[in-house]
Amino acid sequence: MAGNLNVIGLAASLAETVALKEPAGGTACDIAVRPPFTLIERTVKAFAA
């Protein structure tokens, strides 16, 4: 699964993005997240936590 965050890049969207780490319905899958440039560092840190 892959997805883009909003081009405007709201930091409030990070919680929704990090929720993707948990498999939906118990089904595991690989994910790719493409945050806007302004949120790359915050997204990496959020996924590492």
pLDDT higher than threshold 70 for residue 37: yes
Q: According to the model, what pLDDT value does residue 34 have?
A: 80
pLDDT higher than threshold 70 for residue 16: yes
Tell me the backbone φ, ψ of residue 2, rounded to 5 degrees.
Answer: -135, 150
Q: What is the 3-state secondary structure (H, E, C) of the chain?
A: CEEECCCCCCHHHHHHHHHHHCCHHHCCCCCEEECCHHHHHHHHHHHHC
Average pLDDT, the chain: 75
Q: According to the model, what pLDDT value does residue 9 have?
A: 63
pTM: 0.62
pLDDT higher than threshold 70 for residue 33: yes
Q: According to the model, what pLDDT value does residue 1 have?
A: 55
